[in-house]
Amino acid sequence: KIIKAMKIRILTWRPKTQYESLLAIIWANEIFGLRVFEFGERLRYSWSIIYISTCTVLYYILHNSTLETHLDWPAYQEITYKFVLYVNIAIISIYIVLGFVNTGHSKKIIARYEQIDNILQSFGIEKNYLKTSIYVVRATSTWGILMIILFILFWIWCMGDTDITEAFYLDLLICLPITISCLMSVTFNVFVRILQDKLHKMNIAISELHQSSNVNSIDMGYKMQQTAHKLVLVRNYYNKNNFLRRFVEIARQMHFEIVSASRELNQMYSYQLLLDLAMEFTAVICILYNLYFDVTSSTLAEILHHEIVITVACLILCSKVIIINHQCTCFNYE
C-alpha cells in the first residue's frame, strides 16, 4: 500500500512554480557541486562547502593512489591522459567556484521567469509548468545516459592495458570532470530553452492580438451581418484598442525582463562556456596526437579497439557544442 500510494503521489504530482519545474536539473547541479544546496528557500553555504571539501579530498586520494602505480601504457598515451586530466581538474575547480558565486543570480533568474509567466497568465496564457518539468527531466536523463555510455567506453579503452579495478579508477578520474562540464552545458541549454519558450508565447500573443484588432478584418468578416451587430463589434474594437495599448506597454516590460534575463545568463555562463571550449580543444588535440601514434605504430586490431571508442566519445563531447549553438541560434531567431 505504501508503494502504491507513493506511485500515485508521483504520478499525480504537478509543479506549481518555476523552481519546482526545474528541480531535476537543480538537484543534479547541487550533487555535482555547481550550485549551493538550498533547503526551505535558503541557501546552505556551509553544507555545500563541507560537501565539496569532502568530495575534493576523496578525489585527491583516488588521484594519488591511482597515478602512483605504474601504468603499462605507451609514453604518448600516458602523457595525453595526464595532460587532459590536469586541464580538466583545473577548469572544473573554476566551475565549482563560479557555481557558488552564481547561485544567487540563478535564483533571481528563476524568479524573473515566474514573474513573466504571471504576466502572461493575466492575458490567458497558461503557465504549463508540467511541460517544462517533462523537458527538464528528459534533458537531465539524456545527460545521465550519455555520461554512463561515455564512462563505459573509457573503461573499455582503459582495460586494454590495465586490470579492471585500476581501469575503473582511471576512468572515474577522467570522466568525473567531463560529467560536470557536460552538466554545466545542459543547465545553460535548459535555461535558454525556457526563456525562448516564454519569448515565443509573448510573440504569439502579440501577433494574435494584432490580428484580432484589425479594423479591416472586422469589416470584411461582418459586413453581411446586421447593422446593430456590426456596431457592437466596432464598439468592442475600440475597447480592444485600449486593451491593446495596455498590452503593448506590458509586453514592452516583459521584453525588457526577457532581455535582462538573457544578459544575466550570459554573464553567468560566458566564462564557463569559454573554459568548456578549452576542454574540448584539449581533448581534440590529444585525440589527434593519439591517433597519429596509433596509426603509425599499432596493428589494425589495436587501432579499431582504441579509435572506435575514442571516436564515439569525441562525438558525444562535441555534440554539446553543436546543441548549445543551435539553441542560442533559435533564441536569437525568436
Distances (CA, A) of 331 to 106, 143, 189, 289: 19, 21, 11, 37
Q: Picking from 129-138, 148-157, 209-218, which range would have the lowest pLDDT averaged per residue? A: 209-218
pLDDT of residue 140: 92
Cell of 317: 563531447
Task: List the one residue out of 108, 105, 112 whose CA is nearest residue 258.
Answer: 112
Tens-digit pLDDT profile for residues 112-144: 888 888 877 777 777 888 888 889 999 999 989
What span, in angstroms and rounded, lies between the C-alpha atoms of 188 and 98? 14
Joined grid coordinates for residue 91 = 577548469
| Stretch among 95-109, 112-126, 243-257, 287-301 having the lowest mean pLDDT | 287-301
Whether the pLDDT of residue 224 is over 60: the answer is no
Task: Name the residue with higher pLDDT: 259 or 40.
Answer: 259
Contact by Cβ (8 Å): 45, 36: yes
Asked whether residue 221 carries a pLDDT value surpassing 50, the answer given is: no
Cα–Cα distance measured from residue 20 to residue 281, given in angstroms and rounded to the nearest whole number: 36
Binned at pLDDT 50, 70 and 90, residue 307 comes out as low
Cell output for 173: 578520474
pLDDT of res. 276: 85
Q: What is the pTM of this model?
A: 0.81
Q: How far apart are CA 229 and CA 216, in angstroms?
A: 16
User: What confidence tier does 68 reach under pLDDT thresholds 50, 70, 90?
Assistant: low
124 phi-psi bin (left φ>0, alpha ψ -120 to 50, beta other): left
pLDDT of residue 217: 47
